[in-house]
Amino acid sequence: MADKVYRASTTAPVNIAVVKYWGKRDATLNLPTNSSLSVTLAQSDLRTLTTASCSASYPASEGDWLLLNGEPSDVSGARVQACFRELRARRAALEAADPSLPKLSTMPLHIVSENNFPTAAGLASSAAGFAALVRAIADLYELPASPSELSLIARQGSGSACRSLFGGYVAWRMGGKADGSDSMADQVAEASHWPEMRALVLVASAAKKGVSSTSGMQQTVATSSLFQERIERVVPQNMAVMEKAIQDRDFAPFAEVTMRDSNSFHATCADTYPPIFYMNDVSRAAIRAVEQINAAAGRTVAAYTFDAGPNAVIYYLEKDTELVVGTFYHVLGGEIDGWKNDAVKGLKPTTSLDGGVASLLKGGVSRVIMTGVGPGPQKADEHLVAEDGTPVRR
């Protein structure tokens, strides 16, 4: 009889920051130049499902491997290796303390991972991917580690991944120690604290971004004359106002800080030498649209934010769906992918957008994603590795 195949599966969510992570003070440990804060998005719309497995029957010659969306993925990189090393060390400590435990830390890891959203969504999936990888292996190894402790490990895989180990509203505290042992995530509030938060993603381009965020943020740190001001004064203030806005469930300051911090981040990119531009004319049209929607509503009902790419993420509250989604739905038309029919059915066009803005959006937005705040990683019964250790074909 073959050796047992140990398996654990988990899902992990995507998160979109409202106070941005941009800049590393240590590129190896992924230690940031500033704290950041994000909203975890619902996994029914955007999630990674990962199964981690190990077995004494796995040929040592193959070593560890990772199958990502059906394709073999290189695990020899320093970041994946750091996660494997940290998790194995913790398992080895358990095994040393209790000799009755199977020596999982010595077995090759076979990992299979799948996203439920098309790459065409143009959303960075590395955060959900590394969060799921770390959570799945931690479950496989039955580590007694808290999400914050696991966030220390996921951070070394992909900085923003540390925030995907929690649901709801999540802060990544930059920390101050050289070894990074205090640079971890914690939960500002559960999704249930403010469950009405929604997000509409306008996918302006599926094209791979010009400058990778890893290289882009290092260029900004090295060359932007305005960057120090952002990390020393602007971000700490944005973090404080944002945390209070979330505690108070107060959308107006949440929205203003979200928009201001996105602007500040992209301003430091434009001040980088040579300048980095992630937004395009379609992105800027989305900003004008949000301004026009808020002006027409007479109050702040929508907030834009942009990561290292042209896609707009627009936060709003469920009660304002018609004001926000209704406007975009009627401008973009029902033909493009991503509308939830039950949600957009019967929505009236509330704000009539300026003609130039409307035509730029109509011509430049290829699809939308309708989602909202959601929970953190979930243990899954669905395994992507069969009991005999073979990847599940789907």
For a copy of itself, which is the closer residue by CB, 10 or 224? 224
According to CB under 8 A, which one of 64, 196, 243, 291 is a site residue for a copy of itself?
291
Give the largest Cα separation in the chain, rounded: 71
DSSP assignment of 275-290, as one string?
Answer: ------HHHHHHHHHH
> Is residue 367 near a copy of itself by the rule CB under 8 A?
no
- How many residues of this chain bind a copy of itself (CB under 8 A)? 28
> Is residue 187 near a copy of itself by the rule CB under 8 A?
no
For a copy of itself, which is the closer residue by CB, 208 or 394? 208
For a copy of itself, which is the closer residue by CB, 60 or 207? 207
For a copy of itself, which is the closer residue by CB, 264 or 371? 264
Q: How far is the CB of 209 from a copy of itself (least distance, A)?
A: 13
- In the chain, alpha helices (H): 78-97, 126-140, 147-157, 213-223, 227-229, 235-247, 251-270, 281-297, 321, 327-332, 341-344, 355-364
Q: Phi/psi class of residue 125: alpha, beta or left (left: φ > 0; alpha: ψ in -120 to 50)?
A: alpha
Describe the strand order of the beta sheet including 197-203 as a list of residue ranges: 302-305, 312-317, 197-203, 367-372
- As a whole number of angstroms, the distance between CA 156 and CA 20 comes to 18
- As a whole number of angstroms, the distance between CA 296 and CA 307 comes to 26
Q: How far is the CB of 141 from a copy of itself (least distance, A)?
A: 45
Q: How far is the CB of 349 from a copy of itself (least distance, A)?
A: 23
For a copy of itself, which is the closer residue by CB, 89 or 222? 222
How would you class 179 by CB atoms within 10 Å of its CB: exposed for 0-12, middle for 13-18, buried for 19 or more?
exposed
> Is residue 215 near a copy of itself by the rule CB under 8 A?
no
Determine the 3-state secondary structure of 64 from DSSP.
coil
Task: List the structure tokens of 183.
Answer: 């640079």
> Is residue 209 near a copy of itself by the rule CB under 8 A?
no
According to CB under 8 A, which one of 284, 336, 343, 375 is a site residue for a copy of itself?
284
For a copy of itself, which is the closer residue by CB, 269 or 384? 269
Q: How far is the CB of 78 from a copy of itself (least distance, A)?
A: 30
Identify whether the C-beta of residue 183 lies closer than 8 Å to the C-beta of residue 152: yes
How would you class 69 by CB atoms within 10 Å of its CB: exposed for 0-12, middle for 13-18, buried for 19 or more?
middle
For a copy of itself, which is the closer residue by CB, 56 or 226? 226
**Region near a copy of itself per CB under 8 A, out of 74-82, 86-94, 151-159, 283-291:** 283-291
First to last CA, the chain: 27
According to CB under 8 A, which one of 189, 287, 314, 385 is a site residue for a copy of itself?
287
Q: How far is the CB of 311 from a copy of itself (least distance, A)?
A: 16
> Is residue 171 near a copy of itself by the rule CB under 8 A?
no
For a copy of itself, which is the closer residue by CB, 92 or 226? 226
> Interface residues for a copy of itself in 68-97 (CB under 8 A)?
none
> Interface residues for a copy of itself in 216-275 (CB under 8 A)?
224-226, 228-230, 233-234, 256, 259-260, 263-264, 266-268, 270-275
- In 125-202, alpha helices (H): 126-140, 147-157
For a copy of itself, which is the closer residue by CB, 280 or 378? 280
135 closest CA partner among 173, 161, 108, 117: 161
- As a whole number of angstroms, the distance between CA 378 and CA 176 comes to 31
Q: How far is the CB of 203 from a copy of itself (least distance, A)?
A: 18
Identify whether the C-beta of residue 128 lies closer than 8 Å to the C-beta of residue 114: no
Q: How far is the CB of 330 from a copy of itself (least distance, A)?
A: 23
> Which residues lie below 8 Å from residue 58, measured CB to CB, with a gap of 6+?
107, 108, 110, 389
For a copy of itself, which is the closer residue by CB, 119 or 228? 228
Which chain residues interact with a copy of itself by CB under 8 A? 224-226, 228-230, 233-234, 256, 259-260, 263-264, 266-268, 270-275, 277, 280-281, 284, 287, 291
